[in-house]
Amino acid sequence: MSNYHIKNLEEYFQVYNKSVREPETFWEEIAEEHFLWRKKWDKVLSWDFKKPEVKWFENAKLNITENCLDRHLATRKDKTAIIFEPNDPNEKSEHITYGQLHERVCKMANVLAENGIKKGDRVCIYLPMIPELAISVLACARIGAIHSVVFAGFSSTALATRVNDSDCKMVITSDGSYRGKKQIDLKGIVDTALEECPGVETVLTVKRTGAEINMKDGRDKWLAPLLEQASATNIAQEMDAEDPLFILYTSGSTGKPKGMVHSSGGYMVFAAYTFKNIFQYQEDDIYWCTADIGWITGHSYIVYGPLLNGATTLMFEGVPTYPDAGRFWQVVEEHKVNQFYTAPTAIRALAKASVDFVNKYDLSSLKVLGTVGEPINEDAWDWYNINVGDGKCPIADTWWQTETGGIMISPIPFVTPTIPTFATLPFIGIQPALMDAEGNEIKGNGVQGRLCIKFPWPGIARTIWGDHARYRDTYFAAYQDKYFTGDGAKRDPVGYYRITGRVDDVIIVSGHNLGTAPIEDAINEHNDVAESAIVGFPHDIKGNALYGFVILNEERETEDNDQLRKEINQEITAQIGPIAKLDKIQFVPGLPKTRSGKIMRRILRKIAADDAKDLGDISTLLNPEVVQEIMDDAL
């Protein structure tokens, strides 16, 4: 009998040690006992980080939706699978049982197939947090189409880039979306994007807001009438364990977004096993993750992880502060939420509001709290612990990445003693290593270095869509035979990990990964801009905010600096989306560069953080004099 549910620290160490000593046996037992396979694997694991190549459960056959849905029908047909909580608290929430979800997914799968989608085709899903989003994801998986969910806050340009990068044949969207007080014209954004996407043949449109929209003849179809006519029977497509399940884009430090490709078998096992243990889910619990399904957190811990475990998962369409800062806590009370998983940025935003917004509601149902997305600061941790958890709910500070598919370092609630701001111990099967600048592993405790993983785990992304060389260069080239995360970390005297943040040019704003390059490209689109560099600086709520250093052309069209700042942010909103807007924009005569022409962001980061007393060695700069000029005008 494998240990599917870790109960105490001793058991954690025992299972962890086994997972490291005999990873194949360990994961094989988990996979065998807890999932439905049409055919078992020939080999548990083949890997070579040099190529790089990772294969789990080779030649096994399955369909993940049979594991999420069909196999629960015998025991959980009438159990709620999804609770949908709309943006507007006055609109009724919806409970979808496993039986109903199965039927809706089968119908949707049939609609996709009738519209020409086959195994291996890419389908872009650009939807708000409504049930159709989860249903579309599962319907794609059911017929073996590769879903690419694009967060519905991205601009038309960002959407077009992603649609084209993976040659999506279809887009699933809605007439509009609600976000707090705002109504957003999603279909209009799709229409603009698709002017640049000749490969898209069909747009399926969900009616959500009832807004007036354009329907392009021959391309755009309303979803509801198609679903009405669709059969409720659908035989799931047989997938190989290594067939791609989905693509999810994440920003890099350079170039276009990376379409991380996740597998069908390994991802399933990892998402399910991490969910079960880290949220300590019990059969009748109500689990809520506040992320958007447009991010990996939503894929693994709103849709797949919970459904694989037969859990009840809550999907929330709205925002934490609408109609007021008590919205989250009102939802917790209303649905008696037991596990609550959110981001430090949301906690900080809500901690700014009066604590009355929390105290007004009965949060006694809560058992486990979680955070993800960025390092959580101690104040936010304490506030969450005391005001939300009443000091009784363990906080799982979960460190992981789009690339890892699931949680990698985290306390196991009720098992691992927590310390504020520490992600604590590696999850079962995860072998972290800290590396120094020379490429040596730093052994022992009480040390700090760059965080790598030494051994494959089932959830690791297998490649970057269309660019395996970039996958190798980004993750496997920095350190021999190791996966490099891009993060720095400390290991304290007892072996607990604390993630210190990115060591590359990715900036985490409000828990979202923003690469510097695409934002700088957007700024540089402005006619008056010659060059730009952005860095993150500490921000109370967002964790980091963006500070832009911008060199203007000598001949300018716009003389008004405030107007220019506005236009630059408009450019960013148009190219990427409002999440990437700059908080501060400083116009500078030059940027500090090395002799090889690389911008020394380290210096700009210090200036932005108002911490420019000790800039370190700037003698290697091509233009050291510019540093003082930038400092004199710093905002």
Q: Which residues bind ligand WTA (CB under 6 A)?
A: 250, 295-297, 372-375, 397-402, 423, 485-487, 499, 502, 508, 513
**Of 294, 238, 314, 263, residue with least CA distance to 65:** 238
The smaller minimum CB distance to ligand WTA, of residues 389 and 592, is found at 389
Distance of closest approach, residue 343 Cβ to ligand WTA, in angstroms: 9
Residue type, 153: G
Its sign, for the CA torsion 235, 239, 243, 246, is positive
Which one, 27 or 400, has the nearer CB to ligand WTA? 400
- Judged by beta carbon, residue 176 or residue 511, the one nearer ligand WTA is 511
Rounded to whole angstroms, the Cα distance separating 340 from 214 reads 39
Residue 125, phi then psi, degrees to nearest 5: -115, 115
Rounded to whole angstroms, how far apart are CA atoms 273 and 457? Answer: 12
Backbone angles phi, psi at 184, to 5 degrees: -115, 140
Nearer to ligand WTA (CB atom), residue 402 or residue 474 = 402
Amino acid at 346: A
Q: Which is nearer to ligand WTA, 85 or 397 (CB)?
A: 397
Main-chain phi, psi angles of 165, to 5 degrees: -60, -35
CB of 310 to ligand WTA, least distance (A): 23
Q: Count the Cβ atoms, other than its own, within 10 Å of residue 437.
A: 7
Q: How many CA atoms lie within 13 A of 548 on its CB side?
A: 29
Q: Which is nearer to ligand WTA, 62 or 349 (CB)?
A: 349
- 296 vs 294: CA distance, rounded Å: 7
- What minimum distance in Å lies between the beta carbon of 469 and ligand WTA? 21
Question: Can you state the percent helix, strand and coil of the chain, rounding each to 5?
Answer: 35, 25, 40
E strands, 283-402, in order: 286-289, 312-316, 339-342, 368-372, 395-398
- Distance separating alpha carbons of residues 463 and 482, to the nearest angstrom: 15
Tokens representing residue 65 in the block: 């939706």
Q: How far is the CB of 403 from ligand WTA (least distance, A)?
A: 7
> b/e string for 589-623 if b means 16 or more Cβ within 10 A?
ebbbbeeeeebbbebbbbbbeeebeebeeeeebee
Question: Which is closer to ligand WTA, CB of 71 or CB of 470?
Answer: 470
Shortest distance (Å) from residue 372 CB to ligand WTA? 5
Shortest Å distance, C-beta 467 to ligand WTA: 17
| Nearest-approach distance from CB 96 to ligand WTA, in angstroms | 26
- Shortest Å distance, C-beta 462 to ligand WTA: 16
Of the two residues 253 and 330, which places its CB atom closer to ligand WTA in the complex? Answer: 253
CB of 347 to ligand WTA, least distance (A): 12
Whole-angstrom distance, CA of residue 301 vs CA of residue 293: 9
397 or 520: whose CB is closer to ligand WTA? 397
